[in-house]
Amino acid sequence: MLGTLACLPSLLNTVPPAAEPKPADRTRLGVGMHSYGASWNAANRTSPAAPFNDALSFLEHCHALGAGGIQVGLASWDAAYASKFRAKAESYQMYFEGDLRLPADPSELDRFDAQVRLAKEAGGTVIRTAMLNGRRYETFGTAEAFQEFSQRSWRALTLAEPIVKKHGCRLAIENHKDWLVPELLVMLHRMSSESVGVCVDTGNSIALVEDPMAVVEAYAPWAVSTHIKDMAVQEFDRGFLLSEVPLGEGFLDLRRMSEILRQANPRIRFNLEMITRDPLRIPCLEEKYWTTLDQVPGRHLAATITMVKARASKQPLPTVAGLDQAGRIKFEDDNVRKCLAYAREHLGL
């Protein structure tokens, strides 16, 4: 849904533009579109509260914040829009990474090919994608259903790979609360293509009781792009609560993670994914959670529960419950600004 929201027709932007950032206030950290869920939702409703309404105005907004680039969808672009976008991004010396849905079957090849071509024309050579929009433990009621998803995902990847290769782009598959590390690595080895790698999300795999540092280390050789985020946790009676928090306010060792990724790929770009929402409930002590995860070693669960107890946030986890639209938009924008400042001051970004 967010991928299509990036391409809405232009609306009157009623938010006053921010002052031009000074060079010292800029960061190489980019902003992923999913950091602004409330704002895109407002744009979808043609709300005057929306601080931007399409990819170009999102670029403008992030430039005003001092970001180094953006990762955004381009589902409804045409060649003229791609050219205009590229010119504006280059004038700001900002990078662009695309965000696209894989072709589910041969009938979608023309659509995917056209979108990858437009991404390249707009200056993007990296295409981020996710194979599952939801969360594994919530989406699939049986192991068989997950296996069917796995087969569909492989078919989609085999359809997409020749296209991204033809256009000289690279596909970055996110660990999106769907694949365990061994599963995604098997797929990457099976594909064995320089055109396919990983968009390494530093926090998602905690929801699958995987150690976040071990996840980064495992995916680093395949890293094409990133979703950098910090995480906070607390206990609840059926597992634990998991929240994105502004960089530096959680328990992840972001400095070490970024070093590992840069050592593996010195040209990698870091895209902020600061999702401002209510805490996610990870019900890892419920039987249903394990329907598709029975191969996970028990020690991973034990280590995760131990980590949650030791690292539990002493502050309430962030929540948007009770906030109106304007309040949610301001909350997420404040969080993004905090993250950009932290990245510049503490992460060498």
Instruction: Indicate the pLDDT class of residue 44, thresholds 50, 70 and 90.
Output: confident
- Please choose, from the candidates 229, 247, 253, the residue with its C-alpha nearest in 3D space to the C-alpha of residue 174: 229
Strands 196-201 and 223-227: parallel
**Exposure string for 129-151, b = 16+ CB within 10 A, e = fewer:** bbbbeebbbeebeeeeebeebbe
In three state form, how does the secondary structure of 9-28 look?
A: CCCCCCCCCCCCCCHHHCCC
Percentage of the chain modeled with pLDDT above 90: 91
Question: Over pLDDT 70: what percentage of the chain?
Answer: 93
Residue 24: what pLDDT? 53
Gap between the Cα atoms of 186 and 309, Å rounded = 32
pLDDT of residue 290: 98
From the list 115, 127, 112, 204, the residue with the least C-alpha distance to 172 is 127
Mean pLDDT computed over 194-213: 98
**Which structural domain, as residue segments, surrounds residue 116?**
2-232+242-280+317-346
**8 falls within a domain:** yes
What's the pLDDT band for 5 if we cut at 50, 70, 90?
A: very low
Tell me, yes or no, whether 307 lies in a domain.
no
pLDDT of residue 210: 98
| Average pLDDT estimate for 65-74 | 97
Q: Does residue 18 belong to any structural domain of this protein?
A: yes
**What pLDDT shows up at residue 76?**
86
pLDDT digits 0-9 by tens, 255-303: 999 999 999 999 999 999 999 999 999 999 999 999 999 999 999 999 9
The total of structural domains in the chain comes to 1
Is residue 295 a part of any domain in this protein?
no
CATH number of the domain enclosing 169:
3.20.20.150
Q: Mean pLDDT across the stretch 143-167?
A: 98
219/199 Cα distance (integer angstroms):
9
Strands 230-236 and 239-245: antiparallel
The answer to whether residue 251 sits within a structural domain is: yes
Q: What is the pLDDT of residues 78-116, one digit of tens each?
A: 999 999 999 999 999 999 999 999 999 999 999 999 999
- What's the confidence (pLDDT) of residue 9? 37
Give the contacts of 70 (CB within 8 A, at least 6 positions apart): 30, 31, 32, 33, 55, 58, 59, 62, 94, 95, 96, 97, 271
Query: pLDDT tens digits, residue range 321-342?
Result: 999 999 999 999 999 999 999 9
pLDDT at 232: 98
Evaluate if residue 14 carries a pLDDT over 90. Answer: no
Assigned domain for 214 exists: yes
Considering the chain, what is the average pLDDT of its residues? 93
Position 237 in a domain: no
What does each C-alpha distance from 235 to 4, 58, 136, 313, 321 come to in angstroms? 36, 36, 20, 9, 19
The pLDDT of residue 251 is 98
With a cut of 50, say whether residue 236 has pLDDT above it. yes
Residue 118 in domain: yes
